[in-house]
Structure 1
């Protein structure tokens, strides 16, 4: 009886820990973007984007958790994105569903406990759900259930449901977290397409508000859009939502002409950049800093970066939100650079000749 009592007590504490961080003007910095980072490192296949790396190289997943916390993330988001049954079916690894999810969740909990961080479970777009096909709703619910139950078993503080293009799938994710999540808070973020409505025709702002009204602890946007094209929507969402709002854009230079990273073209060409040449469209550090500062100014409480994120970008967001994570020790100090730094620190005869031969006027 006492053991059960302790378990119940721990569950209550976990349920409250996340919400407590957001009270009284609080905010949470969240690092995402594992999929693209591991693809860049050569441990994940573009196209399928299945996180096989979790069980093939678990040490590297743990290291990335550590890197993001070191950079300022308040949350260890378990790397269970696309570790659902439909994605695993594509590569013949459905039998590894429990192993991949459990491994990711266990390591996330361990790293979070080590650093005093929150740990979040994660479910995402199913690539199965169709608005008018009830049979796909049942399949998607079962997929969500499998991952949610495992997240609860491994001590998640809350559960993220993200990157939904249909408001109905986002709503189903919320319902499943409420149904199978043992009371854990739900963060539901939608992926805004190029227009003003989700795929099913629902107005983006109205759809986000409906998720809040249905009981999501945090609502907002992730993925799809970059900082420039996500910010206008965030400002509208903040005007209608009463609770915390989430902002997690991709780190690419989307524009009004190319509003999502799917629509980006390689600069100077008409070739599509997604996904292999998105590096040519990456935001500058200054653009990420400006986005983070603007999010703080308009009151975004749950902030981070999605596809294209890296530890140095997470540090920039964390610093904009007043954090001083360990990685700040290594924030740039260009005044110490032998070419571009403060001239008084170096021999003029050396630096002047270098500056004259590198091209451009930097003084």
Structure 2
């Protein structure tokens, strides 16, 4: 029997579950993962960095440690010639996640994702390949101690359904999310309808992750919340998407160059904007709330605090009142201004 503190559905029934994702982007920023293939080789080459990031997110308030197995699947590893590391990478990733989670009582999630192998024009062959990819990753995650499985960033309902079937074959809870690059899936379902169909097929949590920032994801989440009866997942990217550029793939700088994937810095949302999203999602009736590619621990901490939590990292939350220039020390602030601009003339009333 699952221990109470390792029961995802029990936690969701009791309140909000906060989920920090975005490992792939953050590890790339730290120089231990290559943009382009985005395969999490750091799990094997720099396990201390991966473990450190797990612990940073836990201190910031995540309720879930997600094993770093996004794109650690057979097709991706074949494409860069390291398929022989497939099982080792998955087993090690779960081991790192379990170690970090068990220190604090956080949940552990196995992680599978879109395969780039799903092909409706060759359904029989592609389904067999996709099922194998999902099946082996789910089995490694379960054997390693995962509490539930996240299957994410799907653009085809059909592939999402295959992931659900492979997860449910192991009797594990399933969180399945679509990447809302467009308002409809590639096989023609609205995102609300696709989520409803997953729920009808036994999915425990349905929703959206990645692709869109809060401003352009929230309207779609509202439709999903209205169409399903169970738990909804909401994990946007922390980037300033808008109606003309609704997805972070679309974001372009003033020079017209595409920001994705390694020039998105000018579009990054502040911690306060992500905190506002967490509250908006909660008030909408969503209680599986998180953040995807681009996430930093400071975002997670602000989201946790906005949801009314005091987390370990709250010990170091900002207190600008103590800043020597922008805080409450008027004399020091005036001295700083005079250092830059010279003496401030006294204003006399006429």
For the aligned pair, the TM-score class normalised by the smaller chain equals over 0.9
Identify the residue that residue 361 of structure 1 maps to in structure 2.
Answer: none
1:171 to 161, 166, 181: 161
Are 2:202 and 1:212 equivalent residues in the alignment? Answer: no
CA distance in 2, matches of 1:178, 1:116: 24
Are 2:289 and 1:299 equivalent residues in the alignment? Answer: no
Q: Determine if contact 1:15/1:184 at 8 Å carries over to the other structure.
A: no
Q: Determine if contact 2:54/2:65 at 8 Å carries over to the other structure.
A: yes
Identify the residue that residue 189 of structure 2 maps to in structure 1.
Answer: 202
Identify the residue that residue 149 of structure 1 maps to in structure 2.
Answer: 139
User: Shift of residue 98 of structure 1?
Assistant: 0.7
Q: Determine if contact 1:15/1:158 at 8 Å carries over to the other structure.
A: no
Identify the residue that residue 193 of structure 1 maps to in structure 2.
Answer: 181
User: Shift of residue 269 of structure 1?
Assistant: 2.4
User: Shift of residue 284 of structure 1?
Assistant: 2.0
**Inter-CA distance 348–42: structure 2 relative to 1 (3 Å threshold):** closer
1:105 to 59, 81, 94: 94
**Inter-CA distance 97–342: structure 2 relative to 1 (3 Å threshold):** same
Identify the residue that residue 271 of structure 2 maps to in structure 1.
Answer: 285
TM-score computed with the length of structure 2 as normaliser: 0.94
CA distance in 2, matches of 1:202, 1:15: 36
CA distance in 2, matches of 1:356, 1:214: 68
**Inter-CA distance 351–18: structure 2 relative to 1 (3 Å threshold):** same
1:20 to 3, 7, 10: 10
Counterparts of residues 50-69 of structure 1 (less than 5 Å): 50-69=39-58
User: Shift of residue 349 of structure 1?
Assistant: 4.2
CA distance in 2, matches of 1:220, 1:335: 40
2:117 to 114, 128, 148: 128
Q: Determine if contact 1:338/1:351 at 8 Å carries over to the other structure.
A: no
**Inter-CA distance 232–354: structure 2 relative to 1 (3 Å threshold):** farther
Q: CA RMSD in A?
A: 1.6
2:326 to 340, 344, 350: 340
Q: Determine if contact 1:131/1:166 at 8 Å carries over to the other structure.
A: no
Q: Determine if contact 2:5/2:105 at 8 Å carries over to the other structure.
A: no
1:72 to 18, 38, 61: 61
Are 2:250 and 1:255 equivalent residues in the alignment? Answer: no
TM-score computed with the length of structure 1 as normaliser: 0.91
Once the two structures are superposed, what CA deviation does each residue of 1:199-235 show, in whole Å capped at 9, x if it has no partner? 1211111111111111111000000111110001111
CA distance in 2, matches of 1:15, 1:329: 24
Q: Determine if contact 1:193/1:199 at 8 Å carries over to the other structure.
A: no
Identify the residue that residue 40 of structure 1 maps to in structure 2.
Answer: 29
The total of aligned residue pairs comes to 341
**Inter-CA distance 186–169: structure 2 relative to 1 (3 Å threshold):** same
**Inter-CA distance 294–354: structure 2 relative to 1 (3 Å threshold):** farther
Q: Secondary structure at the match of 1:119?
A: strand
**Inter-CA distance 99–292: structure 2 relative to 1 (3 Å threshold):** same
CA distance in 2, matches of 1:352, 1:296: 43
User: Shift of residue 145 of structure 1?
Assistant: 0.6
Q: Determine if contact 1:88/1:97 at 8 Å carries over to the other structure.
A: yes
User: Shift of residue 348 of structure 1?
Assistant: 5.1
Q: Determine if contact 2:199/2:230 at 8 Å carries over to the other structure.
A: yes
Q: Determine if contact 1:119/1:157 at 8 Å carries over to the other structure.
A: yes
Q: Determine if contact 2:61/2:300 at 8 Å carries over to the other structure.
A: yes
CA distance in 2, matches of 1:283, 1:206: 30
CA distance in 1, matches of 2:287, 2:61: 15
1:114 to 92, 103, 107: 103
Q: Secondary structure at the match of 2:304?
A: helix
